[in-house]
Every structure is written in C-alpha cells, then in structure tokens.
C-alpha cells in the first residue's frame, strides 16, 4: 500500500497589494499522520518552511471560508472554485498565498483515495500511542 501522496503547486506569495511572486509549494499527505496535510513553501533566499494542518480544513476551505487562529483557507470568490487564499499567521506575522483550486482539489482527491475522509481513525492507533506515552511518563517519574 502506498503510504504518501505528494504534489507540487505553484502559488503566489502576496507580499503586498502591489507585490507578489510565484513560488513552488510541495503538498504532502502521509498515512502515518492521516489527519494532516503538509505544505512546504520554497521561498527565494530562505530555507523551505513547512506548515502542517488539518486535511479537512483544506478540503472545507476550497468551498467556504474556514479556519481560525494560525491557518485560514478562503475561496477568493465565494461562488467560484477558481482560486483560494491560504493565510498563515504566527503572532503578528502573517503570510498570504493564492492558489488555483484545481491542483489542490486533485491533490485532495488523491489523499481521499489513499485514506477516505472519515476513515483516518482506522490508521491512527491512539490507544497504543497513549499506552506507550503513559508507560514512558511513569518510567520517568519512577526514575526521578
């Protein structure tokens, strides 16, 4: 079974109303983290920056404004699936990216074929991870 899906999309990095430039963005989805998608932004002159957030946020954001806090995804025109804005924020710093919707939908469709939406829990063995974490914490407390 394939364990990841990836694609590269060209997005506009909107520096200001007057200035934007196109950058490659790698989209990645892995069955080891079935609820998340990762976007790696290749900004000129900087090391690549990766953001991880909920796959469902990206799916929903294609059709309607979604997200609160650090990540927001909004269609540019509410009645059209032409383009979306992705706003990433850390404190008072923010970055705004504009992307055609079609490559995002194609990527999300491929993720859905790998792990259908709503079936993520079948891959994520939370009980085993919880037991493992609790054992580690108890072992550390016993050693201290």
Q: CA-CA distance, 122 to 93, in Å (whole number)?
A: 37
In terms of residue numbers, what domain contains 51?
A: 4-143
- What is the DSSP secondary structure assignment for residue 82, as one 8-state letter? S
| CA angle, residues 94, 30, 66, in degrees to nearest 5 | 40
Counted domains in the chain? 1
Residue 34 has pLDDT above 60, yes or no: yes
Per-residue confidence band for 77, with pLDDT thresholds at 50, 70 and 90: confident
Sign of the torsion angle spanned by Cα atoms 133, 115, 29, 5: positive
**Mean pLDDT score across all residues of the chain:** 86
Give the largest CA-CA distance in the chain: 60
| Alpha helix stretches (DSSP H) within the chain | 55-61, 101-114, 126-143
Whichever domain contains 64, its CATH number is 2.30.31.20
Which pLDDT value is given to residue 117? 77
């Amino acid at each position: 079974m394939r364990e990841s899906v990836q694609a590269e999309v060209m997005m506009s990095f909107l520096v200001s109303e007057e200035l934007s430039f196109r950058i490659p963005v790698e989209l990645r989805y892995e069955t080891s983290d079935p609820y998340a998608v990762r976007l790696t932004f290749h900004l000129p002159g900087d090391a690549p920056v990766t953001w991880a957030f909920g796959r469902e946020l990206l799916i929903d954001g294609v059709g309607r404004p979604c997200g609160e806090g650090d990540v927001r995804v909004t269609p540019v025109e509410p009645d059209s699936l032409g383009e979306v804005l992705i706003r990433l924020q850390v404190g008072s710093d923010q970055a705004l990216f504009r992307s055609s919707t079609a490559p995002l939908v194609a990527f999300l469709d491929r993720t859905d074929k790998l792990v259908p939406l709503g079936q993520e829990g079948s891959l994520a063995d939370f009980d085993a991870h919880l037991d493992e974490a609790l054992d580690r914490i108890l072992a550390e407390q016993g050693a201290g």
